[in-house]
């Protein structure tokens, strides 16, 4: 059980139905708030020259677990302020604090824009949790990732103006425990400047999770 599931105990039913596309490629065009993107998901053929980077975790109200640097907090808190402040109260602490918020992100820049790609997960968030056992099917290995919206912020360097759009159904995974090390359980990001496309993939149990492959074409 990962940190987010612990926070969600008692907040979400363990039998929550999930809609995860597996082995299929779906394309949808979304235009809102000035950010356009064509999405692909599931078993994507990634360009071979991509340079993959870890999507780091930054937590709020979850002390001593990837708390993030001041610079990371300054970047992410304004983006997710409303969500962080609406997370349920932590009655175990009895001090008025809230349950933890778990944010993945990466950034990219080109000559004209700065891009921020980020996902928010917490109790009572818009994410769908992984199933929470028991698992009796022989050979079945349960997924550990949640399914969350991906928020994309595009900032014009010349004016500082920002546009943003949420895209549904992205995999959120970052586990850094003794028995489930980060090297084997995380989310990765890459950007292709030639096509203006962002790519996402997940490594789970040390293996690729192709159902989590995503491509977001912004160019």
Which long-range contacts (C-beta less than 8 Å, at least 24 apart) are formed by 93-98?
Answer: 97/61, 98/61
> What's the rounded Cα separation, in Å, for the pair 26 and 58?
30
Q: Which residues of the chain have pLDDT under 50?
A: 1, 9-34
Residue 172 pLDDT: 98
- pLDDT tens for residues 180-208? 999 999 999 999 999 999 999 999 999 99
Q: Is the pTM of this model over 0.95?
A: no
Residue spans of the domains in the chain: they are 3-10+36-90+98-129+145-217
Residue 35 pLDDT: 63
Residue 34 pLDDT: 46
- pLDDT tens for residues 11-20? 443 333 333 3
Residue 36 pLDDT: 61
């Amino acid at each position: 059980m990962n940190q987010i599931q612990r926070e969600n105990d008692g907040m979400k039913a363990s039998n929550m139905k999930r809609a995860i596309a597996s082995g299929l490629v779906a394309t949808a065009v979304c235009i809102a708030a000035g950010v356009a993107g064509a999405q692909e998901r599931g078993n994507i053929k990634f360009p071979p020259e991509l340079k993959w980077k870890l999507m780091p975790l930054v937590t709020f109200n979850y002390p001593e677990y990837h708390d993030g640097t001041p610079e990371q907090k300054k970047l992410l808190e304004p983006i997710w302020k409303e969500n962080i402040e609406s997370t349920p109260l932590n009655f175990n602490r009895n001090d008025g604090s809230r349950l933890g918020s778990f944010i993945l992100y990466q950034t990219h820049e080109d000559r004209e824009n700065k891009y921020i790609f980020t996902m928010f997960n917490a109790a009572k968030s818009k994410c769908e949790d992984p199933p929470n056992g028991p698992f009796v099917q022989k050979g079945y290995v349960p997924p550990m990732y949640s399914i969350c919206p991906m928020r994309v912020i595009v900032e014009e360097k010349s004016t500082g103006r920002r546009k943003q759009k949420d895209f549904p159904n992205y995999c959120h995974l970052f586990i850094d425990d003794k028995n489930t090390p980060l090297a084997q359980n995380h989310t990765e990001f890459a950007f292709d400047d030639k096509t203006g496309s962002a790519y996402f993939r997940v490594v789970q149990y040390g293996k690729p999770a192709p159902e989590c492959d995503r491509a977001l074409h912004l160019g």
